[in-house]
Amino acid sequence: MLAAISHDLRTPITRMRLRSEFIEDETHRSRMLDDLDQMRVMLESVLSFLRNDRRLESMTLADVASTLQLITDQFGDMGRKVVYDGPAHAMATVRPDDLHRSVTNLVENAVRFGAEAVIRLRVSDDRITIDVEDDGPGILDAQKLNVLEPFVCGDDARNMDEAAGFGLGLSIANAIVLAHGGALSLHDRQPHGLVVRIQLPVHQQSIAA
Ligand SMILES: Nc1ncnc2c1ncn2[C@@H]1O[C@H](COP(=O)(O)OP(=O)(O)OP(=O)(O)O)[C@@H](O)[C@H]1O
Ligand SMILES: [Mg+2]
């Protein structure tokens, strides 16, 4: 039902977008367009969350290090401070698009709550570890498990600034990591900030760093 409603709302939103072009007052027009954009983004995120539960990308050998460097560049292009720390190459059998989405969701949060984000990659014999770190306020221990649930956002996220979402980013990232047979966990960073750790199992023969 949620999928059907989200899907159907897209059409009237598109119509409203066209109509709002006729609003003469420029301030009103641009605010209206911003609101409509926000509604569209929310619907897209609900739809992609619901889709994600059903459709799984297939596992392929991919360079996880270049995926992470690509994400770093993509945020850099948007004027965000993101640094990659890790090897230049690290081959592993993963779902590349899903992994890209998962880490992107974490970096989106990191640059929203902190000023700078670091994506760290470590490769060992049996697993790869991806840490997304920020220098923001972090998350209280009591909330760490909660925020992995869908539709949970912190109080500060409730007031709808342009970055506020539906509370789906972390739960999507977690679902993707679980589907890889991995684990996602939240940790405190010193002196402040959050570390989101993704650990994925790898087979010995697929590591060729
Ligand atoms: N790096 C972080 N630092 C501090 N708080 C965080 C961080 N990442 C997530 N949170 C908290 O966890 C909540 C849930 O995060 P999640 O990414 O699931 O949803 P969202 O960012 O609110 O919305 P969406 O990702 O759907 O746009 C956030 O609202 C915020 O309160
Ligand atoms: Mg988010």
| 121-168 residue pLDDT tens | 999 999 999 999 999 999 999 999 999 998 888 765 555 555 567 788
Please report the pLDDT score of residue 111 as a whole number. 96
3-state secondary structure 76-89: HHCCCEEEEECCCC
Please report the pLDDT score of residue 209 as a whole number. 44
Supply the residue whose CA is at minimum distance from atom 3 of ligand 1.
138
| Mean per-residue pLDDT over the chain, rounded | 88
pLDDT band at 6; cut points 50, 70, 90: confident
For the chain, the straight-line distance linking the first and the last C-alpha, in angstroms and rounded, comes to: 46
Cα(152) to centroid(ligand 1), Å: 8
pLDDT in tens, 144-157: 999 999 888 876 55
Least confident of 52-61, 159-168, 171-180: 159-168
Residue ranges near ligand 2 (ion) with Cβ within 5 Å: 109, 169
Q: In angstroms, how far apart are the furthest CA atoms of the chain?
A: 63
> Encoding tokens for residue 206?
């697929």
Please report the pLDDT score of residue 147 as a whole number. 94
Query: Within 10 A of 132 (CB to CB), how many other CB atoms are there?
Result: 27
Please report the pLDDT score of residue 86 as a whole number. 98
**Whole-angstrom Cα distance, residue 59 to residue 65?**
16
More confidently predicted of 167 and 192: 192
What is the percent of the chain with per-residue pLDDT over 90, rounded to a whole number?
A: 65
Cα(29) to centroid(ligand 2), Å: 28
CATH 3.30.565.10 is right for the domain spanning 60-206: yes
Mutate to test the pocket of ligand 1, among 42, 103, 104, 147 (most ligand atoms within 8 A of CB): 147
Question: What are the residue boundaries of the structural domains of the chain, listed by start?
Answer: 2-52, 60-206
Cα(154) to centroid(ligand 1), Å: 7
**Whole-angstrom Cα distance, residue 194 to residue 174?**
16
**Whole-angstrom Cα distance, residue 82 to residue 200?**
22
